[in-house]
Amino acid sequence: MKELLSLRHNTLSVSKTIEMAALSRELKAQGKQVISLSLGEPDFNTPRHIMDAGIQGIEQNYHSYPPVAGYLDLKEAICAKFKRDSNLNIESNQIVVSAGAKQSMVNIMLALLNPGDEVLIPAPYWVSYPDMVKLAEGTPKHIYTTIDQDFKITPQQLREALNEKTKIFLFSSPSNPTGSVYTKEELAAFVEVLKDFPKVIIISDEIYEYINFQGGHQSIAQFEKVKDRVVIVNGVSKGFAMTGWRIGYIAAPAWLAKACEKIQGQITSGACSIAQRAVIEALNGDLSPTKMMRDSFLKRRDLVKSLLDEIPGFKTNRPNGAFYIFPNVKHYIGKTDGKQTINNVDDLCMYILEKVHVALVGGSSFGNDNCLRISYAASENDLKEAISRIKSCLSSLS
Question: Residue 240 sits in a domain of what CATH number?
Answer: 3.40.640.10
User: Of 284, 317, 350, which one is at a domain's C-terminal end?
Assistant: 284
Burial of 375 (0-12, 13-18, 19+ CB in 10 A): buried
Number of domains observed in the structure of the chain: 2
* SS3 label, residue 154: coil
CATH number of the domain where residue 355 is located: 3.90.1150.10
Helix or strand run (H / E) with residue 11: helix 7-11
Do 197 and 66 reside in the same domain of the chain?
A: yes
Confidence at residue 29, expressed as pLDDT on a 0 to 100 scale? 83
Q: Check pLDDT > 90 for residue 27.
A: no
The C-alpha R_g of the chain, in whole angstroms, comes to 21
**pLDDT for 78-132, tens place per residue?**
999 999 999 999 999 999 999 999 999 999 999 999 999 999 999 999 999 999 9
Do 31 and 78 reside in the same domain of the chain?
A: no
Q: Which domain holds residue 380?
A: 2-45+289-394
Q: Check pLDDT > 80 for residue 298.
A: yes
Note the residue count of the chain.
398
User: Of 264, 284, 304, which one is at a domain's C-terminal end?
Assistant: 284
Do 57 and 169 reside in the same domain of the chain?
A: yes
Decide: 330 and 147 in contact? Cβ < 8 Å.
Answer: no
Average pLDDT value for the chain:
96
Do 206 and 342 reside in the same domain of the chain?
A: no
Decide: 17 and 127 in contact? Cβ < 8 Å.
Answer: yes
Do 263 and 294 reside in the same domain of the chain?
A: no
Q: Is the whole-model pTM more than 0.85?
A: yes
**pLDDT for 161-194, tens place per residue?**
999 999 999 999 999 999 999 999 999 999 999 9
Do 65 and 41 reside in the same domain of the chain?
A: no
